[in-house]
Structure 1
């Protein structure tokens, strides 16, 4: 982006001066703007953006000694094209209420951001404040924390270390590659069903990190727009019921018209993956040829698409064999024990998302957005006792990216 620097406003300086030593600055939210500040006006005198566009939630706020790093993020979903000229950070003053704490102005050199319908773009940006609460309040806002995309955030090196130690290539003017420090990110995709008691916990056996501080820089995104979902937890019962009903429909069809569907020696009907998946999605049992045709037309040819990483040695025919007895109104104990959510995931069988009507084209992926309620209402931290990574808040599906 084209905002060259960000500074504290006079109201921000006053708030910082009255913030007790060791306490966090009470920042509240970011704000984007499209206005151009008149040349004769000083940025530090601003109390509001010239032309506000929208507020953006604070995605992460961490304190380490005399430094505070505050991140924000937004996606241009639903926005028309605009020129990004202003970036403001708001905070709560105990005496004055919410104030414009810090602001950056491009002064007419802002970046044009395409409409979300033209090009979907995600932005992660932030400020790093260094201060002391002695006689003089000194503040430096590190604008190197402003990024154009999440990918740039993942690739960003430690700028402070580069300024102190790195050598520049005399031909390109860039830091020599051998001296670029490594900074990576660890990402985890999660579903609503994996939360428990308002928490999503990722054990150390999965993330492999050794945290030393509770809070960390993290990006949360919420997944939306999916019309098909994997089976997790209790939803596996829905999958088992669907398979039993498919078996009942096949047995009834064979009773009316023998040999409509092939039958094994033990009596269970040998349905194909496409037939079962089509039935689970739309409750329709048809020939394998027609089911494959529907898979192509409706976009559920995902039998080779891995989303959960689950692996199973249980075959579809073994599941169908176990479904035969409950299809005859017998016990479902064998099927319940055999056909778990992990087995359904390993077989790449999915269910129709709750609350959606008729689907023209199934979408297993959806979109990950960072401006939704999930990113606004959840926080990410390390449980130093268990070494778990914890996402806390109201459950939602999405992903978390943690700087490591």
Structure 2
């Protein structure tokens, strides 16, 4: 049975639509990330599931039971907020017990649940401290612990790592990955950080413009984006999108020409594409290699060099003004202002039609 089902959820604030007919099915114990830019509707959707917002239309079901008509405390969900929302005058233990006491859970059971959650989160020594005595990472663990003790069927995490510094965010990301193996519940996390989504989620729901753009496993989203928005949004550095025109050819696969004249042989089936049709070519940095300049490859002028140790990203501009990102070796000697050659792996590129839809390379034979 599906853990969570959203059916045609719609929401508007006055005349401003926020969500348009959003539908989603989520499996039991699945970890799903809602990924998208600010204003895409992801946090509103999370709050509708939690009961903090009311949908204008649609249904929300958890384990087959409709919950969008229930009060937040009766839904079987627990939410971890971006800003912790801990009571500063209460100890960690009291913060974690507060909701259980209000729900009438017996004192002995409350104590047992808190002790178990503290053990899982490794905060046993912090239980008698106040939130002000804790680091940001510790406060986030307390907020998660307060959700765990409720023993929900669904965890909702609203940007849980956004208030942490870079080092602590990486460590807490690892802890979240370990935690999800210990809890018997599904998890939804809202984030605009693609590294978090790619690392933690079983599936990613990419949202933009009030709607779901694509749902899939992390590498499916990365490797076969559904449209130009997903292609640009997922991946760092971003995928290069370049205008190209389809060439007349007898091949089963599309051959295209970049604006500056280079011909690229793709593995994208040409069926349904018209010669001369305006298309966009999409290529990841790892599929553009820096090479010696020669008559057979596009040339570009280097504008920025990003050295990451094991590899180097080179941001360059072609003669026609197009910006393109390439990958070079960690010991690259390329410098700003250099003119470099670029080898584009045609077998790895994508094509996007004028409406933004993606056409991908044919799958390799087994």
Give the TM-score normalised by structure 2: 0.28
Bigger share in strand = 2
Q: Point out the structure with max Rg over C-alpha.
A: 1
Structure with the bigger RCO (C-alpha within 8 Å, sep 6+) is 1
